Amino acid sequence: MSTRLATGGRHLDRATSVSFDFNGRKLKGFKGDTLASALLSNDQMLVGRSFKYHRPRGIVAAGPEEPNALMNLGQNGHFEPNARATTTEIFDGLTAQSQNHWPSLDYDVGVVNSYASRFMPAGFYYKTFMYPAPAWKHVFEPFIRKAAGLGKAPKERDADTYEHFYAFVDVLVVGGGVAGLLAAERAGKAGAKVLLLEQSAHWGGRAPVDGAEIEGRPADAWVTDTVDALENMDNVTMRNRCMGAGVYDHGYALGYERLTDHLAPQAAPRHRLWRIRAKHIITATGAIERPLSFAGNDVPGVMLAGSVRDYVVNYGTSVGDRTVVVTNNDDAYRTALILKDAGLDVPCIIDARPHGGGALMEDAKAEGIRVETGKAIAKVKGGKRVEGVALCAQAGEGAILEEIPCDAVAMSGGWSPVVHLWSHCGGKLIWDDAQAHFRPDPAKAPTGADGQGFVSVVGIANGAMSTGDCLTDAVKGTNAALQGIGISPKRTAAPQATEEPENPMAAVWKMPQGASYKLRSKMFLDYQNDVKVSDVQLAAQEGFESVEHTKRYTTLGMATDQGKLSNINGLAILADSLNAKIPKVGTTTFRPPYHPISMGAIAGEASREIFQPIDKTPLHQWGEENGAYWEPVGHWRRAYCYQRDGESVEQAVNREVKATRESLGLLDASTLGKIIVKGPDAGKFLDMMYTNMMSNLKPGKCRYGLMCSENGFLSDDGVVARMDDDTWLCHTTTGGAARIHAHMEEWLQTEWWDWKVYTANLTEQYAQIAVVGPNARKVLEKLGGMDVSKDALGFMEWKEGKIGGFDARAFRISFSGELSYEIAVPASQGRAFWDALLAVGEEFNVTPYGTECLHILRAEKGFIMIGDETDGTVIPQDLGLHWALSKKKDDYLGKRAQQRDHMTDPNRWKLVGLETVDGSVLPDGAYAVADGTNENGQRETQGRVTSTYYSANLGKGIAMGLVLNGPDRMGEVITFPKVDGTEVQARICDPVFYDKDGEKQNV
């Protein structure tokens, strides 16, 4: 059993007991425990079920590489799935539940999958796609959906807050082990501005656990002194619990700091995302131990050898009473020696190397530990817990020599440098045959803006395998990095470290060498996704030769641990199956983040109301107080309608439509874009921007204009008013102002930069109110001031002056077909002007109306709306807007494109009106069907609905649409199938439904 030892545990505060809840059970640990160490001390080795076969899984590692111990943490708004027990520090009141099992961790129904495992080989998911469709729908999909997913999705909104920090430094050091500490110290002493990040809560990394001595003292003492020295340097910032998450272009890096995860829920931000720009990045990210592939290497109780000693030394926790060590290198002997020293039994060290190890092996033998060289584990006995191992010859096929009872296995397949950060931005790797791992290729660093490498790797992450080599490498790498950014390093030698010398390791990719299929199908590579040696071999047999394809086919390395343990072992098996060299097979791509980071940290402060600030017009508040039913339009909120007491949205819209046509309506049109275009060449410029002529517009006049993209498609429309000789005011669609202003600037700055034109977006400087209806003139006359009579201010004219004491520009334009004035006043006067209109308009039943009424009024008149009649594939010619395409101009944006053969195709769908035979409202976006079917068996189509409304004025549904040869088919009835399976017939008609001769707007 795993248990708490009486002594030891350098991270523990044994005086402070902590209680927490695991699967509803109250457990106790100490301050300083991780959830993993606390569970182990409570003999909770079984922590989850695997993804596919629901095999029982125990804790394998002690750090972020842990694949099995994933927990649902916290409750309600603090709930988080897939948290690693090995990186979760416990606190009083912590709640954790294991994942992926039903009904309970101990008795899991899904384990039957394990017995069906031969029906779920590599590529199982993809193979199911090939069966007949009904099998997929009724058999496989429900099964896979039930099996899919490890943690539960949170149900409540995240109750925590998050923040971003920005840092600009000379040197970013990632990793607070001895190499990283030394690098930071050297850079700090040289005067560089340094940021040092360590993902765990503790400085010093592995060296103190591994028993190294630095400068003749235990590594712990050196670490303490160095941390003290660093803390006293003003130019050095140190953050622990802060992971270097990603390295990006030009020295950009992300740090992920877990501020309060180790505490009960706090008012303070939970995570902090550091957005760092560094002149140089030094990664001292250490190495991760590889598992060995033997049958049953996933049985709870089989753990990485380095992690076994982490638990003993750091947490005073033994993984088992009797631990067999299995290895291909000398380092694992340290685990045996530490276990022995802690008074625990090590029945045997199984070393796959024919001649075993060096000095450490001799130490182990001197301690009386049995060492078997050239041997392997044939298989692990036990189900939910290791009961023993079967010994065999590594060179053989697995004939069992002896069974050794034990309750834990410490395995070591060698160490792989953590090269992720180096690789994120393009650093290349080389294969080191002696250590059987990939390490950074110093000749191929990721390059920055100056073309020079901006990332260096030091320590074991760079392949320096001993503590002494790590320190030497850190000094060498830091000095070179400092010189590269123009800082002179202090010339002092690296501290000396003493360690026992080691014999070379030997690559062992499966155990035993000639293992049968039966054994290979129990050798797990990827614990979380249940990928076995036999799966990778099958993938290779089936032709998946690229490592990227094999990954996706088998799901190797695709779990939440992203292959931290499984990648090298997997690709070694793949290389072996393909009879290729490992470097030839290569690695999959390392992508940030190194380890999952929270979505909250990515969002930072930008959530809730400040996620996307809302634009509000000067009349927004009035709408809030008067029943506005809002809809988002761009970043604006516009009133869809204003509901009065007890009214439905539909009733409000119908009331507004009738009141406006019959008497007087008011629309908040402030959101329409208002761009001033000014200068000697402004007219020439607008002639290029608009399809029609704007240069010949007279001051005081207005003209409706169309804008196209260079590709010919309609992009925006609006009324242009000429202010004076060299000034035009261009109205754009709501939400189009910034886009059209940018479009104008792009052409001015990059194509016609010698034209003398100035533009300014004045949209938010004005409140604009449309005064609409037969009584529009009367209400303005009642306010008094400007002469707004037909003779003084004709249709499509504008004037500046005072109306009711307000500074006003009145535009006689109409988007409704009624007598209409759009009146702009300075934004600060908007609300007062609106209130004045409401007051004097009372006798005319003045009715504020919203966007839906606006739409209905314009649709009754057959006016197009950008975004309804247009969708980026529609040209003015499709909409019968030939009259707005100037024939006098040599050029305008889109003219050449509109001459391309597809644009001039007579079979383009064209705008028509549509009225249903039964008077009902056509569904929006419905397609009209034609005879025959296409190659997919779908009905051919001949048109679609672009705008459709109920017109209260006409008492029926009206619509516009684009129809094949539509204008030539007036009166013809076409059929629109509806979503509910029924059909509706509509007659093609003129799109102008109301006041065809336009008499009402011109009075």
Partner 1 sequence: MLILHCPYCGVDADETELAAGGQAHIKRETVGSSDGDFEEYMFMRQNPRGVHFERWRHVNGCGKWFHAARCTTTLEVFGTYSAQTLRPPQDLLTHITGKRPGWSFSQWLETLS
Closest distance of CB 161 from partner 1, Å: 22
Closest distance of CB 711 from partner 1, Å: 6
CA 649/CA 655 separation, integer angstroms: 10
Closest distance of CB 736 from partner 1, Å: 17
CA 325/CA 405 separation, integer angstroms: 12
449 contributes a contact to partner 1 by CB under 8 A: yes
List phi, psi (to 5°) of 948. -150, 130
CA 810/CA 825 separation, integer angstroms: 9
Residue 796 or 897: the one with the smaller Cβ distance to partner 1 is 897
Residues 860 and 953: beta-carbon distance below 8 Å: yes
Residues 289 and 307: beta-carbon distance below 8 Å: yes
900, 925, 967, 985: which one contacts partner 1 (CB under 8 A)? Answer: 900
CA 880/CA 217 separation, integer angstroms: 89
Residue 587 or 759: the one with the smaller Cβ distance to partner 1 is 759
Residue 897 or 930: the one with the smaller Cβ distance to partner 1 is 897
605 contributes a contact to partner 1 by CB under 8 A: no
Query: What is the DSSP code (8-state) at residue 615?
Result: B
Residue 106 or 746: the one with the smaller Cβ distance to partner 1 is 746
Query: What is the DSSP code (8-state) at residue 87?
Result: G
CA 573/CA 589 separation, integer angstroms: 18
Q: Which of 740, 737, 715 is nearest to 875 (CA)?
A: 715
Closest distance of CB 680 from partner 1, Å: 18
Residue 741 or 858: the one with the smaller Cβ distance to partner 1 is 741
Return the structure tokens found at 23: 């699967």
Is the four-CA dihedral 865, 869, 873, 874 of positive or negative sign?
negative
With CB under 8 A as the contact rule, which of the stretches 247-255, 368-376, 951-959, 994-1002 interacts with partner 1? 247-255
| DSSP codes of every residue in 784-815 | -BS--STTTS-TTBEEEEEETTEEEEEE---S
612 contributes a contact to partner 1 by CB under 8 A: no
904 CB neighbour count, 10 Å cutoff: 11
132, 134, 451, 613: which one contacts partner 1 (CB under 8 A)? Answer: 451
Binding residue count for partner 1, defined by CB under 8 A: 28
753, 883, 906, 935: which one contacts partner 1 (CB under 8 A)? Answer: 753
591 contributes a contact to partner 1 by CB under 8 A: no
Closest distance of CB 750 from partner 1, Å: 5
List phi, psi (to 5°) of 831. -65, -40
Contacts with partner 1, 256-295, as mask; x by CB under 8 A: ---------------------x------------------
CA 560/CA 548 separation, integer angstroms: 17
124, 136, 252, 630: which one contacts partner 1 (CB under 8 A)? Answer: 252
Residue 895 or 908: the one with the smaller Cβ distance to partner 1 is 895
603 contributes a contact to partner 1 by CB under 8 A: no
Residues 689 and 678: beta-carbon distance below 8 Å: no
802 contributes a contact to partner 1 by CB under 8 A: no
Say if strands 317-318 and 3-4 run parallel, antiparallel, or are unpaired.
antiparallel
Give Cα 678 distance to the centre of its chain. 43
Residue 102 or 165: the one with the smaller Cβ distance to partner 1 is 165
Beta bridge partners of 26: 21
Residues 357 and 443: beta-carbon distance below 8 Å: no
843 contributes a contact to partner 1 by CB under 8 A: no
Say if strands 758-761 and 162-174 run parallel, antiparallel, or are unpaired.
unpaired
548, 605, 751, 968: which one contacts partner 1 (CB under 8 A)? Answer: 751
Residues 79 and 358: beta-carbon distance below 8 Å: no
With CB under 8 A as the contact rule, which of the stretches 243-251, 520-528, 648-656, 933-941 interacts with partner 1? 243-251
CA 373/CA 36 separation, integer angstroms: 32
217, 581, 802, 896: which one contacts partner 1 (CB under 8 A)? Answer: 896
Return the structure tokens found at 537: 């071999």
Distances (CA, A) of 188 to 102, 225, 490: 53, 15, 10
Closest distance of CB 176 from partner 1, Å: 25
14, 138, 146, 250: which one contacts partner 1 (CB under 8 A)? Answer: 250
905 contributes a contact to partner 1 by CB under 8 A: no
With CB under 8 A as the contact rule, which of the stretches 82-90, 232-240, 835-843, 899-907 interacts with partner 1? 899-907
With CB under 8 A as the contact rule, which of the stretches 390-398, 632-640, 695-703, 888-896 interacts with partner 1? 888-896
450 contributes a contact to partner 1 by CB under 8 A: yes
Closest distance of CB 486 from partner 1, Å: 17
Residue 138 or 900: the one with the smaller Cβ distance to partner 1 is 900
745 contributes a contact to partner 1 by CB under 8 A: yes
Residue 626 or 709: the one with the smaller Cβ distance to partner 1 is 709
Residue located via tokens 């992720």: 420
Q: Which helix (H) or strand (E) holds 332?
A: helix 331-341
Max CA-CA distance within the chain? Answer: 114
Residue 7 or 750: the one with the smaller Cβ distance to partner 1 is 750
CA 466/CA 499 separation, integer angstroms: 8
Residue 433 or 746: the one with the smaller Cβ distance to partner 1 is 746
Residue 340 or 895: the one with the smaller Cβ distance to partner 1 is 895
With CB under 8 A as the contact rule, which of the stretches 14-22, 408-416, 742-750, 959-967 interacts with partner 1? 742-750
Contacts of residue 130, defined as CB under 8 A and 6 or more positions apart, other chains included, come to: none
List the interface residues with partner 1, window 317-376 (CB under 8 A).
none
- The three-state secondary structure class of 981 is coil
Closest distance of CB 393 from partner 1, Å: 50
List phi, psi (to 5°) of 760. -150, 135
With CB under 8 A as the contact rule, which of the stretches 108-116, 448-456, 720-728, 862-870 interacts with partner 1? 448-456
Binding residues for partner 1, rule: CB under 8 A, are 248-252, 277, 447-451, 710-711, 742, 745-746, 749-751, 753, 890-891, 895-897, 899-901
